[in-house]
Amino acid sequence: MDASHLESIELFATLSPDQRKQVASSAAEIDVEAGNRLVSEGRFGYEFFVIENGRAEVVRGDTHVADLGPGDFFGEMALLGDTERNASVIASSPLKAVVMTDRDFRKLARSMPEVAERIREACRERMRSLNA
């Protein structure tokens, strides 16, 4: 994937160009049609997603929890440890997302621990704000 796409995503914006290139080499871009499910509640997760453009809906059970858009991320628990997804995420419009598997994240963490820690801290901060 092209590292320049990461500049506009808040999670990666403060990284240096070289660091963004490393992240880009560990990630992929996907295009998702409206209505497609990206993650399913209750399933184990192995990917982390950051929305580049488009919208998605977070649903827990039958309850609408949140709407996500550009710059929002989900699936972070897959990077922080083995755990079941606590909600489903469904594309509510066509969207483009950056995806990183837990395996690729671990590889990135070995080669660039400071970048991996930034991403982990952003994930922890988000979890704290959601639990508040």
| Ordered domains of the chain (ranges, CATH) | 27-131 (2.60.120.10)
Specify the pLDDT at position 108: 83
Residues 2-25: tens digit of each pLDDT: 888 888 888 788 888 998 898 899
Residues 17-56 as b/e (b if ≥16 CB within 10 A, e otherwise) read: eebbebbbebbeebebeeeeebbeeeeebebbbbbbebbb
Specify the pLDDT at position 68: 94
Specify the pLDDT at position 94: 98
Report, as ranges of residue numbers, the positions in the chain whose pLDDT lies below 50: none
Specify the pLDDT at position 130: 62
Cβ neighbors of 47 (< 8 A, separation 6 or more) are: 39, 75, 78, 99, 100, 101, 102
Specify the pLDDT at position 30: 96
